[in-house]
Structure 1
Amino acid sequence: MVTKKKTIINRRCIYIFFVITFCVFWMLYLQAPTKPDQTTSRMEYTVTVDLKYLVTNLSLTNNETENIEFQYAVHSSKCKIRSLNPYNPEILPYYNPKKYVRCRTKDLLTYVKKENNVATLYLNEDAVKQYGNGEVHCCYSEITRSKKFQGSDTPDTLVNVSHCNQFNHNVTMKNDFALVKCVHKFEDVYKNTHAVVTINKKIKEKMEQYENENKEHLSVLFVGIDSISHMNLVRSLPLTHLFLKENDWVEFKGYNKMGDNTFPNVMAILTGYNETTVFKLCNPRIVGPLDKCKMIWYDYRRLGFITAYGEDEADISTFNYMKKGFKYEPTDYYFRPYIVATEQQLMWIPVDVVKYCTGPESSGERIFNLAREFTSTFKEYPNFGFFWMNSYSHNEINAVSRMDQKIVDFLADIKKTQILENSIVMFISDHGFRFGSITYTHTGWLEERLPFFYMSVPKWFKKKYPEKYENLIKNTERLTSPYDVYMTLQDILVLSGKNYTVTKSTGCPKCKSLFEEAEKERSCEDAGIEHHWCTCGNYLTIPSTSLIAEEAAKFVISEIRKTQMNTGFNYKQCSEFDIKKIISAGISDTNYTSHKNLSYILVTFQTEPEAVFQGTVSINMGAQVPTFKMEGSISRLDVYAQHSWCVKDSVLKKYCYCQNSLTFFVSNFFDDLRHIFNII
């Protein structure tokens, strides 16, 4: 009986073994590479079709441009940027202005006043009744940046919040940042944070040094709003646009971004580096290098300017999204601890999936208040302020319209308080809206690459330097880039009488200060702009079903796979993409480049799994065997955060669609088996 049972068990084991073996080999067969003639060997994709024949015999379908004379914002033989209609019929389906969202229904229960460099936190007695019929008990905590960050991987996010000390009507603030909590009958009724700018000993020394020099000074103020194109400002911020026009702000019509997102475009302004050089010399993926990076605000601080930096949305801010930020405070006044504590300690209300409301105040208005406080405190002294906002513009193309009146209020305030009299103010964005179906349109393509940029120059500067101001006006109708802004910031140091030697931008050696006349015949190459981001070329529509469009899309897919593999082992967590549908394609006109043998193909396509990519590829028609070449990076136009959760690398995230856990496990299991059995 026992022997019979053993026999049955052995048979079952043998049967299970054969079933498993069969399944393994069947799965290996299914996962084996396809035949070479099926064009799925993406890792070494080569174009086998006659590209020269396809291009020269291309039938263009650019019917809408026939017999039409366009108006141009920039017009030269090397660059033609069309003047856009902010209410273009192509854009109108996406235009939906928003109403301002108020973050509170009651008056603020606390406020701060500053006199003789002493900041006092007050209870708003008039508002107490709104928070309860009886007494309201309040306490406050100091917010500071943690100095115990040795060994920490996130020193730029560490903040300390002290014990909450009770106060009655008012209390003197010992620190620039405070958290306030109030209760009524043991129930929390109010919570808020406050920031103020007080002058410490080190700053006093700077101020005294300037008073001894007694020289005319120029201050610099950056006010940045994320993801707003020039035309979107005109369309969504009509009050702001009117204010800028009526107050003679200089409007740059050919300002072209040089990189994909915020980080490369801001770093081009602050360092003059392109993205490759930034990651090589200032690697933001590890703690420390950003502190040693040659950023222009370090020069301003070293040469006696009082410096400040503030940005909302701490998780996605310029130096912290997928990056480590700063180990040490990069400016004299660094407002990140205040923003981090505000977002951590207060209840925030999302609008368009960003932290629009942080407690009873909007995140954007907090940044405006910081800029007001900083500039008014140091109005009579040379200062450099960099203030950036993401919380009301980043995720939805119409969202910025909510803040139109608030932006005008801020601009009117800095005019009324005479900040503009000694300051060059740069009102600027990094790029236009980068995601969604609007970017599939020709107008959306242009808007993404053409952010807004306005500049205010003091009246005395115009009189003292008429030629420089004249050059500035000329440059409003020339192609310009963030590298020109970097050169301008260096020029301002020289004009301020500082012992400073201007150095060329490594990302754009030909770029010059905006106070010098830019060449009229200027190409994107001259301005440090990759072809993929360049708006100088007029792309003529070609059929999305044409063979050249299909071949270009296949080439871009192969480049995506190469990029995935170059990031390291983690690429195996990402699916391989297949072309599902070509959305649009275009070919550059013959005047786009000085290289007459080059043609450029712009292709936008949908993939399986779900993603939308856009790439620019060149074809050298002068070569014996014309081949494709990738021009710059590849854009991903869909919102992909929820699909790239499995990887942390910022480059890989952009080109990843995560396999589910089971698929990833099975795929790697069979990869290992192939290796073991030397099947592949």
Structure 2
Amino acid sequence: MNWKNEQPFALFLLICLSFWNMKNVQGGVRYFVKSPVCQMPYVNPFALDTIRNFQRKKIRICHVDSDMVTSKFDFATHQYRLHIHKHLAKPILKAKGNATLQCEYQEIKRDKTAKIPDNNYKILHSRPIKQHQFVPNNTDFMITSCYVKDAKNHRKLLQKDAITFIEDRISEDNVKDFIKTQSVDPKPSVLIMGLDSTSRINIRRTMPLVYKYVTQPGWFEMEGYNKVGDNTFPNLLAVLTGQSEEAVRKICDVKKPGCLDSLNFIWKRFKSANYTTAIAEDCQSISTFNYLKPGFVKQPTDYYLRPLLLAIEKMFKVTKEFGYPNCVGRHLNFSYIWDFGKQFINRFLGRAPIFGFLWSNSFTHDYFEGATALDSLFFKYLKSFEESNLFGQSIVILMSDHGYRFSSLRMAASGYYEERMPMMFIYLPPWFRSKYPHLAKNLQTNRNRLSSNYDVHMTLQHLLQLDSKSMDDFPDNLKAKQCMTCQSLLFELPFNRTCQMAGIKEKWCCCQPTETVTNSLSAKTIAKAIVERMNEHLISYNLTELCHDFKLKGVEKADRKTILYTGLKPVDKDEHVYIISFQTSPKNPLFEATVHWNKRTQKLLPINVEDLSRLNSYKNDANCINQKNAKKYCICKDSLSKTSED
């Protein structure tokens, strides 16, 4: 770290380290969760192995010029107007002599007729922009272009940009009914804000401004929140549908169009309750419902940003940073999402109940330090949402899908917990805390109890029936299908709660203390047995022509779990649970497996190779295969160079 240029952060770091020492050295060991059946240890965000080479990043400036064409909502007509800022072009026009400014637009629409509508868009023919013209209320997006036209009719592009419109299509009668009902029995609006791959530990390390913001009154951090799946899709699927990826496979094939449409996403229930709904997610190539999947055939929510994101990544100059498109045209990829969210809030808050899902991958997906560049900008968005009175009327969830899964941070001593404990902050507005003090009290109690994605799903269900007294008031069709014992976080969670009760598989469970046994004789034996199963898996799934077989190179780390009393201890006292990190050849992939090993029989209990974790990136290793789960363990033969072969 460049300490000379990072004095403010260095001071912040020293304060945090001092605070941690007071809490942990003087006051004994801290836990996120501590019960007879779950001991989830507190993790120091500023341990030396995580900050030794830590560097704060700077945000890229995408443009320095002013917007040539802007839109403004006309509250009298409930339509947008377009404005051309001609004065910005005067110096150029003057230099060109007898030149004129011409601005035009092309409307962007979702291509509903395409086989995979989520991967297609329509761009309509160009139309001239007239000063202060109204935008038709069926327009969602447009690309604007302004040109300088000289006396010889030659045109030079001056500026190209994108504009989104959240058209107000709610009748005034519905607005009046909503306002009247709100004064008697208010409905909370709901906004989910997500940053990919951000643990509750890393937000403290990388985003001090945002972290300080979400420690204000009304915010509740779920410190015992434990993920339920490997990557984004299974974790968000659990939050938004109450289903696991494995269970969905039995219903339909997510790789086929129409499958996702058939699932009971929570926004469907909010829509049935007369909420106005919206979804926006950046990095269209890796977005949650589209990475190696066709997405939605029917537009899932009232307002859906994806068609514009597809268009601008093809039509505008794209500059990559932190692994993904950063500047797309004149704006940050990130900003398209949150400007859209702000527009959505401003258009409907106070006129209708809203449900929004805003998700960003661009800064945080591949680089855990990327969040440092985002801190100030995201803080400004939170402040702007506050100015729009979002926090006066709404329940807001700031969350992630999982922590960082690869490379240096994952290999730190705290890496196991970094990956499995994503951030989860829930905000309750003042009126809600006043009207439902018992629910706020329960949420406070639950902060340090084991919770999961399925509980968040049930919390969202609960917000649509706040008169419920207990989980018994929820019919089975509204309960999380994968975890019927999971419950709303607004009801008190059991103190003695196990991972099984929260729908968390043993592989992801952070409740059991571990003992490091890397140098034991059994560690290498177990690792060899795992590699043997991996090779058998390649054969049984007919992947040997594409994927190279594995050879154990070495054991990086081996931990043995100390199973706390849960009533589910193995019948055989010689059976133990191990967490083994190991490296194989070729290309040195690093894997982690959670397995059951019987030390008496020297046998490995059945494992699912697809449940393996990959601890270093597989981006350049698995381009020969499009099976999402197989990518993490397939070393494509065509990716091998002579120097990588052993």
TM over 0.5: yes
Mapping 1:537-556, distance limit 5 Å: 537-544=512-519, 546-556=520-530
1:312 alignment partner AA: D
2:366 is aligned with 1:395: yes
SS at match of 2:637: coil
2:72 is aligned with 1:113: yes
Change (3 A) 1:228 1:625: closer
2:146 is aligned with 1:187: no
**1:413 CA displacement:** 1.7
Instruction: State whether residues 440 and 583 of structure 1, in contact with CA within 8 Å, keep that contact through their aligned partners in structure 2.
Output: no
> 1:507 maps to which residue?
482
1:258 alignment partner AA: V
Instruction: State whether residues 595 and 604 of structure 2, in contact with CA within 8 Å, keep that contact through their aligned partners in structure 1.
Output: no
Mapping 1:401-480, distance limit 5 Å: 401-480=372-451
2: distance between equivalents of 1:220 and 1:578?
50
2: distance between equivalents of 1:331 and 1:394?
25
Instruction: State whether residues 250 and 455 of structure 1, in contact with CA within 8 Å, keep that contact through their aligned partners in structure 2.
Output: yes
Change (3 A) 1:524 1:404: same
Instruction: State whether residues 590 and 615 of structure 2, in contact with CA within 8 Å, keep that contact through their aligned partners in structure 1.
Output: yes
SS at match of 1:529: coil
2: distance between equivalents of 1:146 and 1:478?
46
Which of 551, 560, 581 matches 2:554? 581
Instruction: State whether residues 537 and 588 of structure 1, in contact with CA within 8 Å, keep that contact through their aligned partners in structure 2.
Output: yes
Instruction: State whether residues 493 and 500 of structure 1, in contact with CA within 8 Å, keep that contact through their aligned partners in structure 2.
Output: no
Change (3 A) 1:593 1:583: farther
**1:390 CA displacement:** 0.6
2:581 is aligned with 1:604: yes
2: distance between equivalents of 1:67 and 1:578?
46
Which of 129, 136, 147 matches 2:101? 136
**1:94 CA displacement:** 4.3
**1:172 CA displacement:** 2.5
1: distance between equivalents of 2:474 and 2:87?
53
1:572 alignment partner AA: E
1:457 alignment partner AA: L
Question: Which one is further off, 104-113 or 424-433?
Answer: 104-113
Change (3 A) 1:106 1:269: same
Aligned-pair RMSD on alpha carbons? 2.6
> 2:126 maps to which residue?
164
Q: Between Structure 1 and Structure 2, how many residues are aligned?
A: 591
**1:524 CA displacement:** 1.3
> 1:358 maps to which residue?
328
2:335 is aligned with 1:374: no
2:502 is aligned with 1:527: yes
Mapping 1:53-92, distance limit 5 Å: 69-92=28-51
2:546 alignment partner AA: Q
**1:191 CA displacement:** 1.3
2: distance between equivalents of 1:126 and 1:640?
51
SS at match of 1:100: coil
Instruction: State whether residues 552 and 628 of structure 1, in contact with CA within 8 Å, keep that contact through their aligned partners in structure 2.
Output: no
**1:636 CA displacement:** 0.9
Instruction: State whether residues 218 and 428 of structure 2, in contact with CA within 8 Å, keep that contact through their aligned partners in structure 1.
Output: no
2: distance between equivalents of 1:112 and 1:496?
42
SS at match of 1:315: helix
Mapping 1:523-672, distance limit 5 Å: 523-544=498-519, 546-566=520-540, 568-591=541-564, 594-597=567-570, 598-610=575-587, 611-619=589-597, 627-630=604-607, 633-660=611-638
**1:243 CA displacement:** 1.5
Structure index of larger Rg: 1
1: distance between equivalents of 2:465 and 2:51?
46
**1:183 CA displacement:** 2.3
2: distance between equivalents of 1:292 and 1:563?
31
2: distance between equivalents of 1:641 and 1:662?
13
2:204 is aligned with 1:234: yes
1: distance between equivalents of 2:634 and 2:358?
32
2: distance between equivalents of 1:360 and 1:455?
33
Instruction: State whether residues 440 and 604 of structure 1, in contact with CA within 8 Å, keep that contact through their aligned partners in structure 2.
Output: no
Deviations 1:107-150 (A, max 9, x none): 2222211113211222233533577655432211101001212x
> 1:14 maps to which residue?
none
1: distance between equivalents of 2:517 and 2:601?
25
Instruction: State whether residues 513 and 563 of structure 2, in contact with CA within 8 Å, keep that contact through their aligned partners in structure 1.
Output: no
Change (3 A) 1:173 1:580: same
**1:605 CA displacement:** 1.0
Question: Which one is further off, 235-244 or 113-122?
Answer: 113-122
**1:570 CA displacement:** 4.4
**1:425 CA displacement:** 0.3
> 1:675 maps to which residue?
none
2: distance between equivalents of 1:496 and 1:644?
50
Tell me the TM-score normalized by structure 1: 0.82
Change (3 A) 1:553 1:435: same
> 1:103 maps to which residue?
62
Instruction: State whether residues 538 and 549 of structure 2, in contact with CA within 8 Å, keep that contact through their aligned partners in structure 1.
Output: no
Structure 2 residues not aligned, in runs of 5+: 1-23, 150-154, 642-646
Change (3 A) 1:376 1:559: farther
2: distance between equivalents of 1:78 and 1:138?
66
Change (3 A) 1:661 1:96: closer
Change (3 A) 1:416 1:68: closer
2:145 alignment partner AA: K
> 1:148 maps to which residue?
113
2: distance between equivalents of 1:97 and 1:371?
27
Structure 1 residues not aligned, in runs of 5+: 1-64, 664-680
2:169 is aligned with 1:200: yes
**1:268 CA displacement:** 0.1
2:619 alignment partner AA: A
Instruction: State whether residues 397 and 427 of structure 2, in contact with CA within 8 Å, keep that contact through their aligned partners in structure 1.
Output: yes
Change (3 A) 1:136 1:435: farther
Give 1 or 2: higher helix fraction. 1
Mapping 1:7-46, distance limit 5 Å: none
